[in-house]
Amino acid sequence: MNDSTVILTTLNEAWAAPNSILDLFLESFHVGEQTEQLLKHLVIVAMDPKAFERCRTKHSHCYYLNIKGMNFAAEKRFMTPDYLEMMWRRLEFLRIVLELGYNFLFTDMDIMWFRSPFQHFSGNAHFMIASDFFNGNPSDLHNSPNNGFVYVKSCEQTIEFYKYWYLARNQYPGKNEQTVLNKMKEDKSFFARFQLEMRFLDTAYFGGFCQPSKNLNKVCTMHANCCVGIGNKLHDLRILLEDWKNYTALPADEKERGGFAWRVPDKCKQPWQTLGS
């Protein structure tokens, strides 16, 4: 974009298969309100050769992140060793993007885009992150962060923060990057030391299956979080897209009256252990 912001997402073979997550993700941009134009700023980072090949048939900006000795092609179940390694490698890649001078908006591919999110980002914050559960105060560190949707400005503060975040994995073996972030924010002076302004995003605009956005006149994105398994995600994301299409087909006055509700989560009703997946 004009301000050196790029939209990033990652893709592996399991999510790249026809009629899988990739197709639903791209479809959401096409059926969203003025979101199709954002596709020209989207780079899909493929984690394996087949995902890269499939990406090139669907999108114009694909990048193959070749990590020697690692195979990220198959579905990575939440918190398995391969899942953890993929999440940490992703974090390291994002730090490099910041060092190259790019701001980024990272989005998981199981997030459906219905409106542009950029107007809801705080101008002063360096680091803005989605919430599994939002308590109404964007500055409150007691919110539950979800690293699947994060907007980060390229600056000294964020680069140093991402370096520290990656190294902190050694203090918490067997934990994913989101759990480590939760551990770090327990120290209330932590972000002050980095002079990092952090904000949590309101689930009214950036909802998910943990805490769905209730107003379709406001929603920008919806995330299949609190959900394990590609089959469950696909089932509910397809319903989500159908609901959105039914909503957009309504006359303007009916939209204004509101009252239209999502039919999800359906199969994605999971116990609390799945938060953030």
Domain ranges of the chain: 5-274
pLDDT at 70: 55
Cβ neighbours of 95 (radius 10 Å): 20
Residue 276 has pLDDT above 60, yes or no: no
For the four alpha carbons of 178, 180, 183 and 187, in that order, the dihedral sign comes to: negative
Lowest mean pLDDT among 22-26, 40-44, 236-240, 265-269: 265-269
Lowest mean pLDDT among 19-33, 65-79, 90-104, 162-176: 65-79
73 against 233, higher pLDDT = 233
CA distances from 203 to 154, 199, 260 (A): 25, 13, 17
Cα angle vertex 9, ends 115, 22, to 5°? Answer: 80
76 against 29, higher pLDDT = 29
Q: Which residues pair with 145 in a beta bridge?
A: 131
Residues 59 and 43: their CA atoms lie apart, in Å, by 9
Q: 42, 105, 56, 50: which is closest to 72 by C-alpha?
A: 50
pLDDT at 270: 55
Give me the amino acid identity at 108: D
The predicted model gives 45-74 an average pLDDT of 84
Residue 277 has pLDDT above 70, yes or no: no
pLDDT at 69: 55
pLDDT at 226: 94
The CATH number for 5-274, chosen from 3.40.228.10, 3.90.550.10, 3.90.105.10, 2.60.40.420, is 3.90.550.10
Give the list of residues 6+ apart from residue 67 with CB closer than 8 angstroms, or none: 47, 89
Residue 90 has pLDDT above 70, yes or no: yes
Q: 153, 109, 151: which is closest to 11 by C-alpha?
A: 109
Residues 8 and 91: their CA atoms lie apart, in Å, by 12
Look over the chain and give the mean of its residue pLDDT values, rounded to a whole number. 91
Q: Does the bond joining 265 to the residue before it have cis omega, within 30 degrees of 0?
A: yes
Is this structure's pTM higher than 0.85?
Answer: yes
User: Which H or E run contains 190?
Assistant: helix 190-194
Residue 174 has pLDDT above 50, yes or no: yes
Q: Could you report the per-residue pLDDT of 183-212, keeping only the tens digit for each?
A: 998 887 888 888 999 999 999 999 999 999
Work out whether strand 5-11 and strand 103-107 pair parallel, antiparallel, or are unpaired.
parallel
What is the percent of the chain where pLDDT is above 70? 91
Rg (CA), the chain: 18
Residue 246 has pLDDT above 90, yes or no: yes
